[in-house]
């Protein structure tokens, strides 16, 4: 759609005059410096000027097939643009560039069918191939001579990877693997792009050689002819059908009928099958084939932050424009943003977007540092990364989904319109809670790490920094509540330590009563999930505070004030959400809780004048927001009417169904 130009809505113009800080300063902080802001804007200019974002009809008014075809068209031209003009700005290998991810949303209101190519296929090649394999596939994949996806999940199993049924049996006579789908439930299911788009695929299958099963391994498989795009003989492939979101991407199913691939198509960086069929197991760590999942979990924290920032931008701008009800008789209707309950719904969204973005950046740096350790042969930091990325992916995607839905509630009926974009943002983020490891499953992985850390600390061993609070707790350090940043973080750590202690005790008590470890663990899983969530909260709170302090060191006083107001709001909000836990595990009193409640309500008032400026500081262009409610100019009603008038349903004054059905019904002739 071409966005019509309007003058700024007067309410929104007034809001911007109230701003107490330099927006550009905050924009630079989140981009990582002035240079990066300028590079991002250049990238956005190039993409927006390309005309690629244009749709003849709104995406939501297209059929599923049209949506898919439109998304493929845009993906192809976008890829070409990335190879040409954008390459000059970013450098071809720089797929990490967050600016590319951001501007991709200007093209796709839903998602690109190529997402998994960049999001999982290329990262798997980079992380799992030998250098010889890398030289064969990486240039082709980066140049889009081959397009790929990641097919792990099957109809019968997603979570339990060890239970996957697809087999890859080595045939030493021909030096090939034979891929086979032995049952209905063994069909690959869900892989993005698989339905119609991709010609190659990373397939996760149980490896058999010399009659022995060695568990799941990764294989590069060509599934379609490069010229005709027809499925290769022995391949059954298609689209799985409409779903809650992801409508413009083709999630697919895949089955193999004794399909042969060369030996070299097993990704052999970590484990190998030699020509004679001898299996060589990974030298360092048994779970290195899970590395792409860890990578995506890390990027999903960023997705949670980015999508929440979009939703809260839309809802805050709308709330500044929308007037409803009256605060006192005969007074003009106030902006709904003036209601404290509305501020309560929204300002936590702004603070959370900051908290998650800074946590995502920190996690990304941790990920890079673990990768560099692993390159040197040291896998010692991997368990902590796995525990961190698991709980942060679970909690951040889950919180973001809830807060995005809250943004929709905050926009009343208009938030329910697809043109608000809130339903799209929600359905995308809701899926992130499930894929790449379901919420509960990932928290249980973190819980395993926490229980182990507890046992290590008990044995007097040093534990990693993110769980050092366990050692303090075991030394008998009592928590004394203080309502400062550090004080609150310490109390949240005391909550996490208290919950981990209870889990350990429950497991041990259950074992004493005769249960084996597996049953004792199983019966404690409700508490274990809770403990892992509490640990994750303490990590987010601490990272957010530390990062704001670090990043605003040389900022102006006004930016320091407003960024710190949001930190305090976040800490107060979570204190009030978790009073039960804090009363149980810290020395917080009723009086302290009253103080926190008052502080929270005062903060809402302090933040109120800067609310619009704070969402402007996410620097999200209208073309990325795609929202009739959230555009920079605040012309909500004009856009809603514009969209209604453009609705293809209104192209004819009388729909044919009147003549076919309604009229005969009215006349008793049906
Ligand atoms: C156009 C431009 C766009 C740019 C694109 C860039 C970014 C885009 C952003 C979006 C993202 C991209 C794509 C998004 C779209 C959709 C993608 C969706 C993809 C998928 O969903 S793929 C399928 C994912 N599936 C899962 O996640 C399954 C979850 N299950 C598991 O991970 C495992 O089964 C399990 C639950 C971890 C259990 O595994 P298991 O082998 O049974 O192990 P355990 O016995 O439980 O544990 C043994 C031991 O191993 C440790 N462990 C487990 N996992 C790992 C790991 N990953 N790393 C390190 N260690 C691990 C575990 O902790 C245990 O350790 P102990 O010491 O306790 O023994
Ligand atoms: C939009 C979308 C895109 C996807 N894209 C891909 C892709 O590109 N490639 C790919 O391979 N896969 C993909 N997936 C699949 C995805 O990774 C899985 O759906 C996900 O990992 C969850 O697994 P599942 O469906 O088997 O859920 P299940 O494991 O069946 O989960 C169902 C419920 O059971 C619970 N549960 C399961 N096991 C346990 C346990 N041990 N303890 C306690 N509770 C348990 C879960 O918590 C959950 O509540 C995609 C999924 C979606 C929704």
Q: What dihedral angle (degrees, nearest 10) is formed by the CA atoms of 291, 363, 617, 573? A: 120
Supply the residue whose CA is at minimum distance from atom 47 of ligand 2.
440
Q: In the predicted model, what is the mean pLDDT of residues 561-574? A: 98
Portion of the chain with pLDDT greater than 70, in percent = 99
194 dihedral zone (left: phi>0; alpha: psi -120 to 50; beta)? alpha
Supply the residue whose CA is at minimum distance from atom 44 of ligand 1.
445
Given 436, 542, 547, 623, the catalytic residue:
436
According to DSSP, residue 267 is labeled -
Higher pLDDT, 96 or 493: 493
Tell whether the model's pLDDT for residue 9 goes beyond 50.
yes
Q: Are 180 and 259 in contact (CB under 8 A)?
A: yes
> Where does the pLDDT of residue 6 fall: very low under 50, low under 70, confident under 90, or very high at 90 and above?
confident
Tell whether the model's pLDDT for residue 247 goes beyond 60.
yes
Supply the residue whose CA is at minimum distance from atom 4 of ligand 2.
190
Distances (CA, A) of 403 to 30, 112, 179, 426, 501: 20, 24, 43, 9, 31
- Beta strands at 200-209 and 167-171: parallel, antiparallel or unpaired: parallel
Q: In the predicted model, what is the mean pLDDT of residues 153-175? A: 98
Q: In the predicted model, what is the mean pLDDT of residues 495-523? A: 98
Q: Alpha-carbon distance 399 to 349, whole Å?
A: 10
Q: In the predicted model, what is the mean pLDDT of residues 319-328? A: 95
Listed residue (197, 212, 249, 208) closest to 64, CA to CA: 249
Supply the residue whose CA is at minimum distance from atom 36 of ligand 2.
441
Handedness of CA 267, 268, 272, 276 (dihedral sign): positive
Q: What dihedral angle (degrees, nearest 10) is formed by the CA atoms of 183, 189, 195, 198? A: -100
Q: Alpha-carbon distance 643 to 555, whole Å?
A: 42
> Where does the pLDDT of residue 364 fall: very low under 50, low under 70, confident under 90, or very high at 90 and above?
very high
Tell whether the model's pLDDT for residue 81 goes beyond 60.
yes
Handedness of CA 24, 26, 29, 32 (dihedral sign): negative
Handedness of CA 20, 23, 24, 30 (dihedral sign): positive
Q: Is 185 annotated as a binding residue?
A: no
Average pLDDT, the chain: 95
Q: In the predicted model, what is the mean pLDDT of residues 361-388? A: 95
Tell whether the model's pLDDT for residue 92 goes beyond 70.
no
pLDDT at 587: 96
pLDDT tens digit sequence for 633-643: 999 999 999 99
202 CA from centroid of ligand 1 (Å): 15
pLDDT at 56: 84
Q: Of all atoms in ligand 1, which is nearest to the CA of residue 290? A: 57
Q: Are 196 and 252 in contact (CB under 8 A)?
A: yes
pLDDT at 58: 81
Half-sphere exposure of 254 (CA within 13 A, CB side): 39
Q: In the predicted model, what is the mean pLDDT of residues 219-236? A: 98
Tell whether the model's pLDDT for residue 507 goes beyond 50.
yes
Listed residue (441, 401, 521, 443) closest to 158, CA to CA: 441
- Beta strands at 176-180 and 212-222: parallel, antiparallel or unpaired: unpaired
Catalytic residue list contains 66? no
Q: Alpha-carbon distance 668 to 352, whole Å?
A: 59
Tell whether the model's pLDDT for residue 84 goes beyond 90.
no
* Cβ 437 under 6 angstroms from ligand 2: yes
pLDDT tens digit sequence for 581-602: 999 999 999 999 999 999 999 9
* Cβ 349 under 6 angstroms from ligand 2: no
Q: Which residues contact 112 (CB under 8 A, 6 or more apart)?
A: 71, 74, 75, 78, 104, 248, 249
252 CA from centroid of ligand 2 (Å): 15
According to DSSP, residue 145 is labeled S
Q: Which residues contact 347 (CB under 8 A, 6 or more apart)?
A: 566, 569, 603, 604, 607, 611
435 CA from centroid of ligand 2 (Å): 6
Tell whether the model's pLDDT for residue 295 goes beyond 80.
yes
Q: Alpha-carbon distance 281 to 188, whole Å?
A: 25
* Cβ 438 under 6 angstroms from ligand 2: yes
212 phi and psi, to 5 degrees? -115, 140
- Specify the range with the lowest mean pLDDT, choosing from 16-20, 50-54, 94-98, 225-229: 94-98
Q: Alpha-carbon distance 574 to 1, whole Å?
A: 40
* Cβ 202 under 6 angstroms from ligand 1: no
Q: Is 192 annotated as a binding residue?
A: yes
């Amino acid at each position: 759609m071409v966005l019509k130009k309007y003058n700024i809505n007067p309410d929104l113009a007034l809001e911007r005059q109230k701003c107490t800080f330099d927006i550009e300063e905050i924009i630079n902080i989140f981009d990582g410096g002035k240079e990066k802001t300028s590079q991002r804007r250049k990238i956005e200019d190039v993409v927006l000027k390309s005309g690629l974002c244009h749709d003849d009809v709104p995406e939501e008014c297209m059929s599923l097939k049209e949506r898919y075809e439109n998304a493929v068209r845009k993906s192809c031209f976008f890829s070409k643009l990335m190879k040409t003009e954008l390459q000059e700005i970013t450098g071809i290998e720089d797929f990490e560039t967050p600016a590319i991810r951001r501007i991709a949303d200007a093209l796709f209101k839903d998602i690109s069918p190529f997402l998994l190519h960049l999001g999982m296929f290329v990262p798997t090649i980079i992380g799992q191939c030998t250098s010889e394999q890398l030289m064969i596939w990486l240039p082709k994949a980066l140049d889009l001579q081959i397009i790929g996806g990641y097919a792990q999940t099957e109809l019968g199993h997603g979570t339990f990877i060890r239970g996957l049924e697809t087999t890859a049996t080595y045939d030493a006579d021909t030096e090939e693997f034979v891929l086979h789908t032995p049952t209905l439930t063994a069909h690959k299911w869900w892989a993005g792009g698989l339905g119609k788009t991709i010609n190659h695929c990373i397939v996760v299958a149980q490896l058999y050689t010399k009659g022995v099963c060695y568990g799941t391994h990764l294989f590069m498989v060509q599934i379609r002819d490069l010229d005709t795009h027809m499925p290769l003989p022995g391949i059954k492939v298609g689209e799985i059908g409409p779903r809650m979101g992801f409508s413009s991407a083709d999630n697919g199913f895949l089955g193999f009928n004794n399909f042969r691939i060369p030996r070299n198509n097993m990704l052999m960086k970590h484990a190998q099958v030699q020509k004679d069929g001898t299996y060589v197991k990974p030298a360092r760590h048994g779970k290195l084939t899970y590395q792409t999942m860890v990578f995506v979990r890390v990027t999903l924290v960023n997705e949670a932050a980015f999508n929440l920032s979009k939703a809260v931008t839309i809802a805050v701008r709308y709330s500044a424009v929308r007037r409803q009800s009256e605060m006192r008789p005969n007074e003009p209707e106030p902006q709904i943003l003036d209601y404290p309950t509305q501020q309560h719904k929204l300002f936590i969204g702004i603070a959370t977007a900051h908290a998650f973005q800074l946590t995502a950046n920190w996690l990304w740096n941790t990920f890079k540092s673990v990768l560099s350790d692993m390159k040197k042969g040291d896998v010692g930091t991997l368990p902590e990364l796995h525990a961190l990325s698991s709980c942060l992916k679970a909690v951040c995607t889950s919180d973001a989904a809830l807060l995005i839905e809250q943004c929709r509630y905050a926009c009343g009926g208009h938030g329910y319109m697809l043109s608000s974009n809130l339903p799209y943002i929600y359905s995308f983020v809701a899926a992130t809670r499930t894929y790449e490891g379901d919420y509960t499953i990932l928290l249980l992985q973190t819980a395993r790490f926490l229980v182990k850390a507890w046992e290590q600390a008990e044995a007097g061993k040093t534990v990693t920094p993110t769980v050092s609070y366990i050692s303090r707790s075991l030394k008998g350090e009592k928590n004394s509540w203080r309502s400062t940043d550090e004080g609150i973080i310490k109390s949240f750590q005391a909550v996490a330590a208290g919950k981990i202690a209870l889990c350990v005790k429950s497991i041990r008590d259950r074992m004493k009563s005769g249960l084996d470890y597996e049953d004792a663990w199983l019966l404690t899983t409700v508490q274990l999930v809770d403990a892992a969530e509490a640990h994750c909260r303490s990590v987010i709170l601490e990272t957010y505070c530390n990062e704001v302090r670090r990043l605003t060191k040389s900022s102006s006083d006004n930016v320091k004030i407003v960024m710190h107001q949001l930190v305090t709001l976040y800490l107060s909000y979570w204190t009030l959400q978790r009073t039960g836990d804090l009363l149980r595990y810290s020395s917080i009193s009723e009086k302290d809780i009253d103080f926190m409640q008052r502080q929270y309500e005062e903060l809402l008032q302090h933040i109120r004048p800067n609310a619009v400026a704070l969402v402007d500081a996410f620097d999200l262009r209208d073309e990325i927001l795609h929202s009739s409610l959230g555009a920079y100019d605040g012309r909500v009603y004009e856009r809603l009417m514009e969209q209604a008038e453009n609705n293809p349903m209104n192209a004819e004054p009388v729909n044919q169904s009147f003549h076919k059905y309604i009229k005969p019904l009215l006349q008793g002739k049906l």
